[in-house]
């Protein structure tokens, strides 16, 4: 794991990687904020600010939100040469969320989210194998604590689909990855959150990973539905742009 004991968002090396124009709150201002302020910043796309405000709360929910915000920023917006370090920091937040409250499903969910994004950023086979079991265990723990957590079902569906795409037969043997399990979790997420743009988008991408030719029509239908659904926050707007790009790619 990339845990280099970074001391916080005001660490000089970390701060130097932030894009120009992103301003961080002072320590005093951050400590005066609330989880609602962090959620507002997250929804508006101020992901770095959301992470800082949430971290300052020093609560399980705060660290979980910080992990979520920084994982989104690191995955979608950060420069390539900063992604691994940022996502390593998001993983630290997820671990802190669990240490603060091991019964908090959001803590396990966002720890898994950060780990998954980290493995995607690093991309090496060794790292993916190292984290595969951890990601699955964290998601299953989240679902044990809250069975109706749509995000955890969605992430588990993606876990199975990506494991099979990347490891094929060996993924089935080593990790128990299954196309049927992927489908089951995607369907559960869709049932729990039928109007969520990201559910339709991720389901479509998962089907393309499992068998692009066989599932193309169904994937197109899901992507078209995702395009039609309203964008409720900044993350949705990012997803929407990805959906448009994917539809254009498939059309060609």
**8 pLDDT above the threshold of 90:** no
Fold matches, 1-147 and 150-252: yes
* Tokens 């060996």 found at: 170
CATH class belonging to 150-252: mainly alpha
Domain ranges of the chain: 1-147, 150-252
Tell me what pLDDT residue 33 has.
66
Tell me what pLDDT residue 164 has.
81
3-class secondary-structure state, position 19: coil
Give the residue-averaged pLDDT of 53-57.
Answer: 97
What element of type H or E holds 73? Answer: none
Range of weakest confidence among 159-163, 190-194, 224-228, 233-237: 159-163
What element of type H or E holds 159? Answer: helix 150-175
**128 pLDDT above the threshold of 70:** yes
Q: pTM of the full predicted structure?
A: 0.84
Buried b (16+ CB within 10 A) or exposed e, 156-179: bbbbbbbbbbbbeeebeeebebbb
Cα distances (Å, whole numbers) of residue 50 to 40, 112, 176:
8, 19, 36
CATH 1.25.40.10 fits 1-147, yes or no: yes
Tell me what pLDDT residue 66 has.
98
Local confidence band at 175 (pLDDT 50, 70, 90 cut-offs) = low
CA–CA separation, 57 and 76 (whole Å) = 25
Cα distances (Å, whole numbers) of residue 91 to 64, 138, 184:
10, 12, 27
Tell me what pLDDT residue 127 has.
72
Local confidence band at 4 (pLDDT 50, 70, 90 cut-offs) = very low
44 half-sphere exposure, CB direction, 13 A CA radius:
11
Tell me what pLDDT residue 189 has.
98
């Amino acid at each position: 794991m990339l845990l280099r004991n970074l001391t916080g968002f005001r660490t000089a090396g970390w701060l130097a990687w932030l894009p120009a124009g992103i301003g961080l709150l002072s320590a005093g201002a951050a400590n005066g904020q609330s989880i609602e302020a962090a959620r507002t910043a997250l929804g508006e796309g101020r992901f770095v600010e959301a992470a800082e405000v949430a971290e300052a709360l020093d609560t399980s929910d705060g660290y979980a939100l910080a992990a979520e915000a920084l994982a989104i920023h690191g995955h979608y917006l950060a420069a390539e040469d900063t992604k691994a370090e940022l996502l390593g920091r998001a993983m630290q937040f997820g671990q802190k969320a669990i240490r603060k409250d091991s019964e908090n499903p959001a803590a396990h969910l966002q720890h898994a989210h950060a780990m998954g994004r980290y493995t995607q950023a690093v991309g090496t086979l060794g790292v993916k194998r190292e984290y595969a079991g951890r990601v699955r265990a964290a998601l299953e723990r989240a679902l044990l604590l809250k069975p109706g957590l749509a995000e955890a079902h969605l992430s588990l569906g993606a876990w199975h689909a990506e494991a099979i795409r990347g490891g094929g037969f060996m993924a089935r043997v080593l990790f128990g990855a299954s196309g049927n399990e992927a489908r089951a979790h995607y369907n559960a997420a869709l049932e729990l959150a039928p109007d969520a743009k990201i559910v339709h988008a991720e389901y479509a991408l998962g089907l393309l990973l499992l068998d692009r030719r066989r599932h193309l029509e169904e994937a197109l239908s899901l992507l078209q539905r995702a395009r039609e659904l309203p964008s409720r926050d900044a993350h949705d707007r990012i997803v929407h742009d990805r959906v448009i790009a994917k539809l254009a790619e498939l059309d060609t």
